[in-house]
């Protein structure tokens, strides 16, 4: 199945900026940005980020407040803090043998970095890759990692897969099946996530008086290292 998949990828694979580099720092930036954020949204922001901070050392020297401001609009802002902490470790000590020692780097992100930065023989299994492997009852080679991600993102969809467009349909035991919808995250409107985001957006513009803010959201943001209290004000760290 790998050869069929890779032939499809030659024609249909997405041209994404992080696929044009083996720089571990750039791959780390892309992987943290892509956590729970669509590739189409990430691509232009990734390019802007690398233009501003082209290396781990450059980002490590940046102020945490500037990093948080630059992340605005990507969501899940704790990732910005994790990335900043991670590159400070790298700038001081180099890349660890166990990448999960870096803040914000779990087993999947570590596997993706090993594959895409160092070309190691490991297959990073995200939601899309896992779905394709489960439905095809096949274990793919690491060289198919990017192709699997694109196939799961564009063809082997979670609920109604586009089997007619799939290069693996001829030997796929799940061909023609439909699947129950996955449990979705609760709506943003009125949620605590929205309250946090609103407070962070205000504080990113300028320091705000604590008395005028949602204090529970401030507490949560402070725990995540995204804001700090400075007397009666709340500001970026």
Nearest alpha-carbon partner for 148 in 163, 169, 126, 164? 126
Q: Is 208 helix (H, G, I), strand (E, B) or coil?
A: strand
Q: Catalytic positions, please?
A: 31
Q: Is 235 helix (H, G, I), strand (E, B) or coil?
A: strand
Nearest alpha-carbon partner for 193 in 227, 219, 217? 217
CB of 112 closer than 8 Å to CB of 124: yes
- Residue 15 CB partners (closer than 8 Å, separation 6+): none
């Amino acid at each position: 199945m790998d050869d069929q998949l890779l032939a499809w990828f030659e024609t249909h694979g997405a041209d994404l900026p992080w696929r044009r580099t083996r720089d571990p720092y750039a791959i780390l930036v892309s992987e943290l940005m892509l956590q729970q954020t669509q590739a189409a949204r990430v691509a232009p922001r990734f390019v802007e980020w690398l233009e501003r901070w082209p290396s781990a050392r450059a980002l490590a020297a940046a102020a945490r407040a500037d990093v948080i401001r630059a992340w605005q609009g990507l969501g899940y802002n704790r990732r910005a803090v994790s990335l900043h902490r991670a590159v400070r470790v790298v700038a001081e000590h180099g890349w660890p043998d166990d990448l999960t020692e870096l803040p914000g780097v779990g087993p999947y992100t570590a596997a993706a970095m090993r594959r895409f930065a160092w070309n190691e023989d490991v297959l990073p299994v995200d939601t899309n890759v896992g779905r394709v492997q489960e439905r095809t009852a096949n274990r793919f080679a690491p060289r198919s990692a990017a192709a699997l991600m694109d196939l799961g993102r564009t063809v082997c969809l979670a609920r109604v897969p586009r089997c007619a467009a799939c290069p693996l349909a001829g030997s796929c035991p799940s061909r023609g099946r439909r699947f129950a919808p996955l449990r979705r995250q609760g709506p943003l409107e009125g949620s605590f996530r929205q309250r946090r985001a609103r407070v962070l957006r205000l504080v990113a513009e300028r320091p705000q008086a604590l008395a005028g803010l949602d204090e529970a959201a401030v507490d949560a943001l402070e725990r995540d290292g995204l804001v700090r209290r400075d007397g009666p004000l709340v500001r970026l760290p």
